[in-house]
Amino acid sequence: MEISITSLNKIYPNGNQALTNVDLEIKNGMFGLLGPNGAGKTTLMRILVTLMKPTSGSIIVNGMDLDRNRKAIRAVMGYLPQDFRFFSKLSTWEFLDYVAALAGLKERKKRAHAVDEMLEKVGLFDVRDRQANKLSGGMKRRLGIAQALIGDPKIVIVDEPTTGLDPEERIRFRNLLSDMSQRDIIIILSTHIVGDISSACHQMALLDEGSLVFSGSPDELIDMAKGNVWQIKAIDSELEDIKSRYPVISTIPSDNGWDVEVVAKKLDGYPGTAVDPNLEHAYVNFMEFKLGRTWHGEAV
Ligand code: ADP
């Protein structure tokens, strides 16, 4: 699978420009779309799943223009929106069976088998007879995942993947998706949480205020932060000053005070040890130094 997005713009009727000249190539595997709230992620996802048209620009899926082949492309897509809800009184099993029929699984026996299998996969088989809208929050989210994955989609889009999931469920969900991503499939995770971009995402992009500011591998983003992450051993009275000088990533209590991780090109006045950056550091580093955000009062 291949998705090719060119010069995509979206201006809402009230004049809000949610996307500005977005160019993006997405290939097989897991793709992480990261950006703060309001960056335009949901807008881009809704355009991709054909729920909304862009103001201008094009999207080509495997050589087919999305706008001219909406039905065919929709048939190979699975989508889990941020605010997925059930309005039906169907049981969990019936609901998934219904979605599977819509996804093109016509033959009853085969469909029933696929439904059973998917309910096993997401851990809902035991509650298959329970009314779908009476499931717990986490279970509803899992049923949402199941309905996005059923019918062998080639493109799966998940908006804010970990919303409503507890830590154990997050791991289960991540494993489920990375198992699936071994095939000819594109899985797009759209999120404002850096931790959702799992190690299985080999491709990622950063959206900010409607513009694509980075696209590449997580490792490339991490490389940019090398030499810019420090751990400072601080005492109570120094904490406020450190917070006002640098973007602080974490503050952990230690023997004589605090271990504070900061992003900075150099530390003036505080002795620090260099830290190997992770993706979270890399994201803050990018926002701070590449986008010139005035995190602590000075443009960089
Ligand atoms: P994200 O998903 O990254 O939080 P959105 O795509 O929801 O971002 O929003 C991007 C921008 O578009 C925001 O400034 C938001 O206020 C605006 N926006 C979203 N939906 C609408 C709408 N229906 N009408 C007008 N503006 C909108």
Is residue 33 one of the residues assigned to a domain? yes
The rounded Å distance from CA 97 to ligand 1 centre is 33
278 vs 166, higher pLDDT? 278
Task: Give residue 296's pLDDT.
Answer: 44
* Residue having the nearest C-alpha atom to atom 7 of ligand 1: 42
Ligand 1: lining residues by beta carbon, under 6 Å: 12, 14, 16, 18, 35, 37-43
| pLDDT above 90 (res 52) | yes
Report residue 227's pLDDT band, with 50, 70 and 90 as the boundaries.
Answer: very high
- Work out the number of other CB atoms within 10 angstroms of the CB of residue 229: 24
Is residue 51 one of the residues assigned to a domain? yes
- Indicate the pTM of the whole model: 0.90
* Residue having the nearest C-alpha atom to atom 16 of ligand 1: 38
Q: Tell which atom from ligand 1 comes closest to the C-alpha of 192.
A: 3
Co-location of 104 and 205 in the same domain: yes
What total of structural domains would you count in the chain? 2
Q: Which CATH number goes with the domain that contains 142?
A: 3.40.50.300
Distances (CA, A) of 283 to 46, 211, 297: 24, 16, 19
Report residue 292's pLDDT band, with 50, 70 and 90 as the boundaries.
Answer: confident
> 281: domain range?
223-290
Pocket test for ligand 1, best of 8, 12, 19 (most atoms within 8 A of CB): 12
Co-location of 29 and 151 in the same domain: yes
One DSSP character per residue, 67-83 reads: TT-HHHHHTTEEEE-TT
96-134 burial code (b ≥16 CB/10 A, e <16): bbbbbbebebeeeeebeebbeebbebbebeebbeeebee
Number of H helices, E strands in the chain: 9, 14
Condensed to tens digits (0 to 9), the pLDDT of residues 72-84 reads 999 899 999 988 8
Which of 216, 250, 275 delimits the end of a domain? 216
